[in-house]
Amino acid sequence: EGVLVKFIGSFSVAVSGEIVCQGTAENRVTFTCDTMQLPARWKGIRIAAAQGTFSHTIIEHADYNQIGEEAASGINCNTSVVSLTDCVVRHCRSRPPIGCYNSSNVHIERCEITRNFLTVGCCGGGIGVRGSSHADIIDCNIWYNSALDGAGIYLNDGGSANIINTRIAGNDAHLQGGGVFVAGGGEVVMKKCYILYNSVNGTGGGIKADGDNLLVEQCTFIGNDCMSGAQVNSTAGDAEFNSCIFAPFNGPFGIGPALEIQPNIQLHHNVIYTFFTDPDFAGTLPQGLGIIDRVNANGDSCDVFNNIYKDPMFVSSVTNNFNLLYNSPCIDAGDPLLELDPDSTIADIGVTYYDQSSPVNERLISLPQSIDFHAAYPNPFNPVTTLSFSLTQPAQVKLCVLDLLGRSVAVLIDRQVSAGAHSLQWNAADLPSGLYFAELAAGEYRQVQKLILMK
C-alpha cells in the first residue's frame, strides 16, 4: 500500500521550488530502486534554495558518489528549509544519507536513520551538518551507520544542532567519533540522548568533541568502543558535560580511558563508572577532577565537581533497560539548576528518572525455585521459536521480547498463570535479523536469554 517511486535509472529528483511527500503510518511514500537491476542506484533528492516536507516517507538504496563536501546520497539540503517526520532513511551509501549545507535549516523528528554505509573518506554516516546549517534532531533512532568521522552525526564548519531524546547506537567510524563528531564552532546541544555501543578505530568511541559551544546534558553513554583514545574524547575547544552517565558494558570496551579531556572542559554532576579502582581519565585534567574528597547532598562520595564514581544501578544492563533502581546514586544527584524531574524532585543523572511520586513495594513477592525458564528452541531461528517455562505454583507472569535497546518488540504473556508447563511461540517474521532478549519475570524472579534471529 501507499505510493512507490521506483527508479529504473540512475536519476535524481531536483527540487527548486517545493516538494511535499505526505504518507501515513499505513500508507507510506517510498523512494527506492532494485539494486540488482540497477547496481549504480538512484541519486537521491536534491533540494536547492527550496522547501521540502516529508512525513511517513522511506528513502532507501540511494547513492551519490560525486566529489565535494556538499554531497548527500538520500536527501541533500542546500540553502533550504526541510522537515522530516516519521521517516526512514536506510541503505544509502557513499555520502551522508541526510546532508544539510549552506545555511539550511532542517527539522528531523521521530525518524529512523539506519544501515547507511559511506565510502572511505566521507563523514556523517547518518546526518551531516556543515556550512552554518542547523538541524533539530528529536526523538530519532540513528544506528548501525558507518563513515570516516561521525558515523552517527557529523557537525563541522559552523554546523549547529539541537539533539534531543535521540538514540545513537551501534555506529562505526574509521577515524573519529563513532557516535558523534563535533567541530567547527557551531552551537551544539545534546539532551536526554542515549549514546550506546558505538565504535571507532581511532578516538572518541561515543563522541569526539573538538568544537566550542557544546553542551551535553542528562545523556547516557554506555559501552562505546575505541582502539585508541576514549569513550568520550574532548581535547580541544570548550564543552560541558552535565548530569550524564558514563559506563562500560559487561567489561571494559577498548583499551583507552573512559574520558579523555583537557582543562577547559566542564564535567560536573555526572556518574562516571568503570571497572577500575581509580577514576579513569586521560589528558590534562581540571584541578580536583577525580579526587574523591567530599560527599554530595545525598551523602555519596564525590569530587569537587559533584561527580560520582559508582555503579549507576540500572534495572538491567544485560537487556539494555537503563531505568534506575530505587537505590541508584543517580537519583536527585543531578545539577540542582536543571529543570525538576516530572515528580517535582531534583533532576536525576542520565536520561531516565526514578519516579518517587509512585509508592513502590521494594520487597517484591519472592518465588524461590518455583520457575524454570527453558532454553528456546530452535535458537538461532527463522522466523519462529518456542519459549517454555514451568511453574510449581500459580504466579503473575510476564514474558516479553526486547531488542538491543531494551525496547519491547513483543509481549507473549502478561497475566496470572496456573502451575504446570507452558509453551509459547514467537513469530519474528516482521523483524530484521539480529540479537533479541527474552525476559521472563514473576515477582522477584527474573531471567533473560538471548535469541538469535537469522533470516
* 362 assigned to some structural domain: no
Q: What are the CA-CA distances from residue 219 to residues 167, 193, 283, 327, 363 (Å)? A: 10, 5, 22, 20, 30
Q: Does 270 lie in the same domain as 396?
A: no
Residue 375 — very low, low, confident or very high, per pLDDT cuts 50/70/90?
A: confident
> Structural domain of residue 261, as residue ranges?
3-324
* 394 assigned to some structural domain: yes
Q: Does 257 lie in the same domain as 120?
A: yes
Q: Does 392 lie in the same domain as 302?
A: no
Q: What is the DSSP string of 109-141?
A: ES-EEE--BPPTT---SSEEE-TT-EEEEES-E
Task: State pLDDT tens for residues 114-151.
Answer: 999 987 668 999 999 999 999 999 999 999 999 999 99
Q: Does 260 lie in the same domain as 404?
A: no
Task: State pLDDT tens for residues 35-81.
Answer: 999 999 999 999 999 999 999 999 999 998 876 667 899 999 999 99
Residue 250 — very low, low, confident or very high, per pLDDT cuts 50/70/90?
A: very low
The answer, yes or no, to whether residue 364 has pLDDT greater than 90, is no
Q: Does 408 lie in the same domain as 275?
A: no
Q: Does 382 lie in the same domain as 290?
A: no
Q: How far apart are CA 41 and CA 36, in angstroms?
A: 9
pLDDT value, residue 257: 59
Task: State pLDDT tens for residues 189-212.
Answer: 999 999 998 988 888 999 999 877
Provide the domain count of the chain. 2
Q: Does 87 lie in the same domain as 147?
A: yes
Q: How far apart are CA 304 and CA 310, in angstroms?
A: 15
* 135 assigned to some structural domain: yes
Q: What is the DSSP string of 294-342?
A: EE-TTS-EE-TT--B-S---EEETTTTEEEEPTT-TTTT-S-TTSPPPT
CATH at 420: 2.60.40.1930
Residue showing cell 523528528 = 109
* 209 assigned to some structural domain: yes
Selection from 31-45, 58-72, 213-227, 414-428 with the highest mean pLDDT: 31-45
Tell which of 306, 324, 342 closes a domain: 324
The answer to which of 94-108, 325-339, 390-404 has the lowest mean pLDDT is: 390-404
Chain-centroid distance, C-alpha 70: 26
Question: CA nearest 249: which of 305, 185, 293, 314?
Answer: 314
Tell which of 294, 324, 354 closes a domain: 324
Residue showing cell 536519476 = 11
Tell which of 300, 324, 348 closes a domain: 324
Residue 276 — very low, low, confident or very high, per pLDDT cuts 50/70/90?
A: low
pLDDT value, residue 19: 98
Regarding predicted confidence, which is higher, 92 or 452? 92
According to DSSP, the residues that pair with 435 across neighbouring strands are 452
* 364 assigned to some structural domain: no
The answer, yes or no, to whether residue 1 has pLDDT greater than 80, is no
Regarding predicted confidence, which is higher, 303 or 403? 303
Q: Does 379 lie in the same domain as 302?
A: no
Q: Does 397 lie in the same domain as 314?
A: no
* 340 assigned to some structural domain: no
pLDDT value, residue 20: 98
Q: Does 314 lie in the same domain as 423?
A: no
Q: How far apart are CA 319 and CA 298, in angstroms?
A: 28
Q: How far apart are CA 188 and CA 181, in angstroms?
A: 11
Residue showing cell 545523556 = 219
Torsion sign over Cα 19, 25, 29, 31: positive
Q: What predicted TM-score, i.e. pTM, was given to this entire model?
A: 0.78
* 353 assigned to some structural domain: no
Determine the average pLDDT of the residues in 243-256. Answer: 63
Written as nine digits, the cell of 227 is: 582502539
* 112 assigned to some structural domain: yes
pLDDT value, residue 253: 40
Q: Does 393 lie in the same domain as 271?
A: no
pLDDT value, residue 319: 75
Q: Does 394 lie in the same domain as 319?
A: no
> Could you count the other beta carbons within 10 Å of the beta carbon of residue 365?
11
User: Quick one: the chain helix, strand, coil %, rounded to 5?
Assistant: 0, 45, 55
> Could you count the other beta carbons within 10 Å of the beta carbon of residue 46?
20
